[in-house]
Structure 1
Amino acid sequence: MTPNPLKTQADRRKERIDDLAATAGGSPSGTVTGAGEIEESPGVSLIASAWRRLRRNPVFLVGAGITLAFVVLAIIAPWIAPHDPTQGLLLDKVRQQSNPIPGSEPGFPLGADNRGRDLLSRLLVGAQQTLIVGVGATVIGLVGGLTLGTLAGAFGGWVDSFIMRIVDVMLSIPSLLLAMSLAAVAARPSQMTVILAIAIVEIPIFARLLRGSMLAVRSSDHVLAARALGVKQSAVVFRHIIPNSLAPVIVQATIVLATAIIDAAALSFLGLGNPDDRKPEWGQMLGASQEFLGDHPHLAFYPAACIIIVALGFTLMGESLREALDPKSRR
């Protein structure tokens, strides 16, 4: 029995298409079942497609792991800290001339500071204060930026020009210098002044990003169709433009959170943060270690390492999210 040449050619064509799809590293939207026959499969949303790539991205997994560990540790820190971070349990071993910093001993693996307080306990509780400052500043900056960006992107005209000129002036000043100036204006430094100073610095970043995203979405086909159907301007903005413009802003918030933690540490290091050391914070601990940096560098190393690792985790996660949600970087 001789084989059917038409059927053999169709089978070869099908195998060739499947090989090309596999080589390209993507999955076809349909499966070829025969000559001229395609079995369609349901489409995948942008979020689902991004999640598929993120699950296989080791950079995202590392960043998400660091971030999750930091958040969990900050939440449970008061319960797992071995000692009260405000009590000088080793104060009797502090000698200003011979032994200003007690070393490690049983029950105190990292030693104590110049006031005899357990260094490990202060690092653990300090994670909670650092998280509060970073998240608080990012949330306030995000809300303010969304408000200004929505006004500029929705109304346009003189409203857009006025808001963007203010944003340009704020962006022209280095962020840390602007935060220092705002924190120095406060009559009494506190944790709230640090949060507000960093939040004000972040507002123009979110405002410009949302405004640019809204301008791109405003000229899309579905927005033009909604306007052609007579949909009200407010409904077009809040139902069509803003929901489709938030993805890059959310990704930027993840990256800005890392910057907020670093800026908060810098302000505390310069003495512009919360002066009450009964609530330890990593930047505050870093600033207090300057006096003993030459002979006891570990006092600065531990809080600095915590700041670097946490900021790295948020940065890796944010950059991975940005790459996964960017249509140009899809494979």
Structure 2
Amino acid sequence: MSLPTPANRRKERVDALAATAATGPGGALLEAGSVDEKPGVSLIASAWRRLRRDPVFLLGAAITLVFVVLALVSPLIAPHDPGANLLIDKVRPQTNPVPGPEPGFPLGADDVGRDLLSRLLVGSQQTLVVGVFATLFGLTGGLTLGILAGAFGGWVDSLVMRVVDVLLSIPSLLLAFSIAAIASRPSQLTVIIAVAAVQVPVFARLLRGSMLAQRHSDHVLAARALGVTRRAVVFRHMVPNSLAPVIVQSTLVLAVSIIDAAALSFLGLGNPNDRQPEWGQMLGRAQTYIYDSPHLAVYPALCIIVVALGFTLMGESLREALDPKSRR
């Protein structure tokens, strides 16, 4: 009896692998050339399967949900009127400039006797309004420029991108500060416009890059070969397939918008009416008493940090879930 040669051993291993590959679940034989069919999964469904098991996304979504709910119902659950000087009689400029916690006022009051907890709750609504509308305006402007650059190309693309490059070359906070300072009278609207202007070039460049990648895709080339008009190709094929990264970026931009809006209000470029509280405005007013009553600055600062962290965690998780390169 002859000993098995290396060639025979390799042949036996190949035959064993072929026999294993030819069997389906439970050992059932598959026909030659057939595959074990499974239902396909869309990109959104695949991303959701990953997100619902991602603790980072769940934490960010929980923080965001709590913030949005509190902002919507804050006028109803605030224990006192945020503009009422209820503890003004306990303010003593020399001995007790900031009243501390007491029954009915768990966080105390500010330097003019207004309930701090009520101002934090109502201030969340103003912060949400500024962040959402600044992001929406920035998204609208960015989509307009991005579609023009990505759809037409040529000199239109060059012109739009040079404008975007100039805007991106200026530090975001400096640009927002310059735009807000132009207004004759600071208000909440000027803050929204200033923060939105900073976000326009970010969205424009992102959408333009996605549309350039779509321009040479198979479905766009097929539509052009069939004689579909440029408008239909752009708005039915290119734009819808380019929006996923833009939507994810808008979640991250919300966090940046909240921080930028708080910075402008801190510098005195926000709503001058302090009877309508806003976290950045409260933080700026608290600097006078930062050594004797640091809690006036700590509470609004923590609110800004936690909310921005929630949007950031959620946005980063969304970006990883929708990015094919990050799938494992």
| Counterpart secondary structure, 2:241 | coil
CA distance in 2, matches of 1:88, 1:318: 40
| Counterpart secondary structure, 1:40 | coil
- Amino acid corresponding to residue 142 of structure 2 in structure 1: G
1:268 aligns to what? 265
1:132 aligns to what? 129
1:44 is the counterpart of 2:51: no
Alignment of 1:23-102 (within 5 A): 33-36=28-31, 38-102=35-99
CA distance in 2, matches of 1:76, 1:106: 23
| Counterpart secondary structure, 1:199 | helix
- Amino acid corresponding to residue 34 of structure 1 in structure 2: L
Q: Per-residue CA shift, 1:79-111, capped at 9, x if unaligned?
A: 000001000110000001100000000110000
1:193 aligns to what? 190
Alpha carbons of structure 1 residues 106 and 47: separation in structure 2 relative to 1, 3 Å: same
Alpha carbons of structure 1 residues 72 and 16: separation in structure 2 relative to 1, 3 Å: farther
How far has the Cα of 1:35 moved from its partner?
A: 4.0
Tell which deviates more after alignment, 162-171 or 34-43.
34-43
Q: Per-residue CA shift, 1:157-199, capped at 9, x if unaligned?
A: 1111001000000000000000000000100000000000000
2:203 aligns to what? 206
Q: Contact 2:24–2:36 (CA<8 Å) still a contact in 1?
A: no
Alpha carbons of structure 1 residues 272 and 17: separation in structure 2 relative to 1, 3 Å: farther
- Amino acid corresponding to residue 83 of structure 2 in structure 1: T
CA distance in 2, matches of 1:165, 1:32: 63
CA distance in 2, matches of 1:277, 1:34: 76
How far has the Cα of 1:38 moved from its partner?
A: 3.8
**Cα RMSD (Å):** 1.9
CA distance in 2, matches of 1:204, 1:33: 57
Q: Contact 1:210–1:246 (CA<8 Å) still a contact in 2?
A: yes
- Amino acid corresponding to residue 232 of structure 1 in structure 2: T
Matched residues, number:
312
CA distance in 2, matches of 1:32, 1:81: 65
CA distance in 2, matches of 1:319, 1:280: 30
Q: Contact 2:22–2:29 (CA<8 Å) still a contact in 1?
A: no
2:12 aligns to what? none
2:251 aligns to what? 254
Q: Contact 1:100–1:114 (CA<8 Å) still a contact in 2?
A: yes
Q: Per-residue CA shift, 1:126-182, capped at 9, x if unaligned?
A: 000000000010000000000000001000111110010000000000000000000
Equivalent residue for 2:20, pick from 5, 13, 17: 13
How far has the Cα of 1:42 moved from its partner?
A: 1.6
Alpha carbons of structure 1 residues 79 and 33: separation in structure 2 relative to 1, 3 Å: farther
Q: Contact 1:255–1:314 (CA<8 Å) still a contact in 2?
A: yes
- Amino acid corresponding to residue 20 of structure 2 in structure 1: R
| Counterpart secondary structure, 1:217 | helix
- Amino acid corresponding to residue 78 of structure 2 in structure 1: A
Alpha carbons of structure 1 residues 118 and 54: separation in structure 2 relative to 1, 3 Å: same
1:242 aligns to what? 239
How far has the Cα of 1:13 moved from its partner?
A: 1.8
Equivalent residue for 1:170, pick from 167, 176, 193: 167
How far has the Cα of 1:33 moved from its partner?
A: 4.1
Alpha carbons of structure 1 residues 184 and 229: separation in structure 2 relative to 1, 3 Å: same
Equivalent residue for 1:323, pick from 305, 320, 323: 320
CA distance in 2, matches of 1:145, 1:317: 22
Q: Contact 1:93–1:116 (CA<8 Å) still a contact in 2?
A: yes
Gaps of 5+ in 2: 1-15
CA distance in 1, matches of 2:98, 2:173: 32
Gaps of 5+ in 1: 1-8, 19-30
Q: Contact 1:183–1:197 (CA<8 Å) still a contact in 2?
A: yes
1:115 aligns to what? 112
CA distance in 2, matches of 1:33, 1:153: 52
How far has the Cα of 1:15 moved from its partner?
A: 11
1:141 aligns to what? 138
| Counterpart secondary structure, 2:261 | helix
How far has the Cα of 1:40 moved from its partner?
A: 1.1
How far has the Cα of 1:34 moved from its partner?
A: 2.7
Question: Could you say which structure has the larger radius of gyration?
Answer: 2
1:231 aligns to what? 228
TM-score (norm 2): 0.92
1:221 aligns to what? 218
CA distance in 2, matches of 1:147, 1:172: 20
